[in-house]
Structures are given as structure tokens and as C-alpha cells.
């Protein structure tokens, strides 16, 4: 790992969907085995750029996610490296048995980009709002499950996963994300990143909740409360060593995720600690609810996914 954390996070205008097309184009330049698969959401992820350059290595299957996974398995059997994108709900829930058996159990290669993470699905509402995709993907033996933090990480990990066999699930926000890392950072799958050091509690976060955690860090400093923040972008395999180290150091763990508290980050961290170093874990996330339409701001408040919610959880449990 060679990660440089920006001193001040940047409001970057580079959308993750553009990163996807641009990076896949650069990968495909030296790798004729890449095939990008879409299920009638190419427009949403702006893959036309890629299609224009590599029409033979691009398939828009149509609205048929389950079949798309089966097609990918066939491509993988012939040595291709399929990258498949659709909204997170359709990339996991809509085709789970196909992922589980035709890819996972059959030990085939597939890179899955699930877009519109959690509340970022906003006005598409409950049918399109994935709060369980990470949980589902964690259940597939040997799958690697990642929630992307910013465009720098997305670009780097896309390049890395090309060369690793197996299922990789990369959960993204389709548009912009706060830039946390400096360009050129190199990430190590399975290793968390400490963004802030403090001894009172540790907030372990992923995705859009990193921004909230950083905000909470500032708010708590004013009250002389010092928290550590870990970006645990690889949810599976989890960085057990780092989680235990910070449980020992701060004695209190808060997880913050844009996902159901069952199945995702909170579950993974709890499992790791309960077995190896029992520590109080407070899970911030969506609790027994379905999605709904609204602005992302509104939804973050509605589901308790804000800096304020983190501050409250820290203070109540110190």
C-alpha cells in the first residue's frame, strides 16, 4: 500500500462513472480479454466512450441481469475477463443465484460494478436503493467485497482486480464523491486505512460515510473528544489485525455504513471482534427499513446517516 491522504479532502468533479469508462479504456488497450457487460444502463454509467473504441469487447445484453451473469460465466470459461455493471440492486439481488452458482461455485472470474450505493439512488426510490448488496456478496465464498471511497481508489482498484482471479464486487456512487486520497495512491485490498488518530473511540466507515466521519471528527474535536477514523473499504476479507488494534487502542468501535446494519460493514466488524477481542460495537446504518425516494440529504437524515448521528453515537457510548 502506498496511499497518500489529502490534508484537505477535495470536492472533485470527476464522476465515478467517467472513471469507470476511462479506466476500462486504458486497461483494454493492453488487454484484449476485457469484456464490458451492461444491462440497458450504459447511458447511466456513460460507457458509450468505451463502446466506441472497443465495440467487440462490449455487450449491452438488454434488461436481463440474470442472463447477463450467465453470459459472463461463459465468457470467463473462454478466458475473458468480464466486467459487469448495473445498479447495485440489480447486480446482486436480481441475479443472486446466478452469481452464487454460475460464478462463485463454479470458481469463475467476474468483476461487478454495483452503482448507486444506498441512498445515492435518491429519486429512483426503494426498488433501486441497495441496502443489502454488500451483505449478499459477503455470503458468496471467496468473493471480495469492496465499497469505493473516491475516484482515486476506484481507478486504482479497477486496474488491480483485472489481474486477480475471482469475484470482485465494487460498490460505487455513480456521480461524484469527496476526494480523500491523492492521485496515484496505491491501495492494498484487505488493508484498511487510518485517516485520523484519536484515543477516545474509533469510527470505522466506508463510502459516503467517510465524509460524515471526517465531519464528526471536526465536531468532536471542539468538545475535546478525539476519535480515530478507519476507511475499511475492503469489507471482505476484513482487515482483522487493524480492527483489533484499534479496538484495543480506543475500547469503543462505531461502524458507519450506507447499508443495512445487517450483513455489511457493521456485521463484519462485529463478527471479527466478538470472536477475537470482544469490544462494544455501535452500528450506524439502515435499521430494518426499505428505501424510498428523496434527495440524498433528506435520505441521510431519514436513515440516520449523518455526521450528527456519528457524534451522538460516540458521545452516548464514551
Q: Based on CB atoms, which residue is closest to ligand TPP, 171 or 236?
A: 171
Contacted by 43, from ligand TPP, other proteins, none: CB < 5 to 8 Å by type: other proteins
Written as nine digits, the cell of 268 is 463484519
> Should residue 236 be labelled a site residue for ligand TPP when binding is judged by CB under 6 A?
no
State whether residue 284 is helix, strand or coil. Answer: strand
Concerning whether 65 is annotated as a catalytic residue, the answer is yes
State whether residue 199 is helix, strand or coil. Answer: coil
Size of interface with other proteins, in residues (CB under 8 A)? 28
Listing DSSP states for 23-79 in one string gives: HHHHHHHT-TTEEEEESS-HHHHT-HHHHHH-GGGEEE--S-HHHHHHHHHHHHHTT
> Should residue 281 be labelled a site residue for other proteins when binding is judged by CB under 8 A?
no
Could you give the CA distance from residue 74 to residue 257 in angstroms, rounded to a whole number? 34
Could you give the CA distance from residue 28 to residue 36 in angstroms, rounded to a whole number? 10
> Should residue 184 be labelled a site residue for other proteins when binding is judged by CB under 8 A?
no
Cα torsion at 80, 85, 90, 91 (round to 10°)?
A: 50
> Should residue 298 be labelled a site residue for other proteins when binding is judged by CB under 8 A?
yes
Kindly tell me which residue out of 18, 22, 40, 215 binds ligand TPP, with binding defined by CB under 6 A.
Answer: 40
Written as nine digits, the cell of 17 is 462513472
State whether residue 13 is helix, strand or coil. Answer: coil
Complete edge-to-edge strand list for the sheet that includes strand 252-260: 193-196, 227-231, 201-205, 252-260, 280-286
Question: In this chain, which stretch among 55-63, 71-79, 151-159, 249-257 interacts with other proteins, using CB under 8 A?
Answer: 55-63
> Should residue 94 be labelled a site residue for other proteins when binding is judged by CB under 8 A?
yes
Sign, CA torsion 38/39/40/41 = negative
> Should residue 176 be labelled a site residue for other proteins when binding is judged by CB under 8 A?
no
171, 88 Cβ separation under 8 angstroms:
yes
Kindly tell me which residue out of 22, 46, 124, 139 binds other proteins, with binding defined by CB under 8 A.
Answer: 124
Nearest to 217 by CA among 205, 233, 235: 205
Question: In this chain, which stretch among 75-83, 196-204, 218-226, 289-297 interacts with other proteins, using CB under 8 A?
Answer: 289-297
Kindly tell me which residue out of 94, 111, 174, 211 binds ligand TPP, with binding defined by CB under 6 A.
Answer: 94
Kindly tell me which residue out of 4, 31, 32, 62 binds other proteins, with binding defined by CB under 8 A.
Answer: 62
Least spacing, CB of residue 41 vs other proteins, in Å: 6
Out of 15, 38, 65, 132, the active site residue is 65
Contacted by 271, from ligand TPP, other proteins, none: CB < 5 to 8 Å by type: none
> Should residue 97 be labelled a site residue for other proteins when binding is judged by CB under 8 A?
no
Kindly tell me which residue out of 20, 58, 83, 90 binds ligand TPP, with binding defined by CB under 6 A.
Answer: 90
Q: Is 246 exposed, middle or buried (0-12, 13-18, 19+ CB in 10 A)?
A: buried
Residues that bind other proteins (CB under 8 A): 38, 40-44, 60-64, 66-67, 89-90, 94, 123-128, 292-295, 298, 302
Query: By the criterion CB under 6 A, which residues form the site for ligand TPP?
Result: 40-41, 63, 65, 90, 94
Q: Which residues are catalytic?
A: 65
Amino acid at each position: 500500500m502506498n496511499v497518500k491522504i489529502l490534508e484537505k479532502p477535495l470536492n472533485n468533479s470527476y464522476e465515478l462513472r467517467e472513471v469507470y469508462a476511462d479506466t476500462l479504456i486504458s486497461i483494454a488497450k493492453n488487454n484484449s480479454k476485457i469484456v464490458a457487460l451492461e444491462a440497458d444502463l450504459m447511458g447511466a454509467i456513460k460507457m458509450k466512450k468505451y463502446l466506441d473504441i472497443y465495440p467487440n469487447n462490449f455487450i449491452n445484453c438488454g434488461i436481463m441481469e440474470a442472463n447477463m451473469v450467465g453470459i459472463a460465466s461463459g465468457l470467463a470459461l473462454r478466458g475473458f475477463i468480464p466486467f459487469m455493471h448495473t445498479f447495485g440492486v440489480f447486480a446482486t439481488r436480481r441475479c443472486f443465484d446466478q452469481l452464487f452458482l454460475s460464478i462463485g461455485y463454479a470458481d469463475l472470474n467476474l468483476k461487478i460494478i454495483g452503482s448507486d450505493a444506498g441512498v445515492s439512488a435518491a429519486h429512483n426510490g426503494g426498488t433501486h436503493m441497495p441496502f443489502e448488496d454488500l451483505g449478499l456478496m459477503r455470503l458468496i465464498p471467496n468473493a471480495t467485497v469492496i465499497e469505493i471511497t473516491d475516484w482515486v481508489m476506484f481507478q486504482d482498484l479497477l486496474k488491480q482486480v483485472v489481474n486477480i482471479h475471482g469475484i470482485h464486487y465494487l460498490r460505487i456512487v455513480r456521480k461524484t464523491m469527496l476526494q480523500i486520497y491523492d492521485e496515484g495512491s496505491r491501495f492494498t485490498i484487505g488493508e484498511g486505512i487510518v485517516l485520523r488518530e484519536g484515543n477516545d473511540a474509533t469510527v470505522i466507515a466506508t463510502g459516503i460515510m467517510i465524509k460524515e466521519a471526517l465531519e464528526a471528527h471536526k465536531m468532536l474535536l471542539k468538545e475535546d473528544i478525539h476519535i480515530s477514523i478507519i476507511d475499511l473499504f475492503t469489507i471482505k476479507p476484513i482487515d482483522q489485525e487493524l480492527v483489533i488494534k484499534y479496538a484495543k487502542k480506543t475500547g469503543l468501535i462505531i461502524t458507519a455504513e450506507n447499508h443495512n446494519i445487517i450483513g455489511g460493514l457493521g456485521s463484519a466488524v462485529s463478527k471479527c471482534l466478538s470472536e477475537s477481542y470482544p469490544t462494544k460495537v455501535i452500528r450506524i446504518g439502515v435499521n430494518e427499513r426499505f428505501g424510498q425516494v428523496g434527495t440524498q440529504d433528506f435520505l441521510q437524515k431519514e436513515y440516520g446517516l449523518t455526521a450528527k448521528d456519528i457524534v451522538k453515537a460516540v458521545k452516548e457510548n464514551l
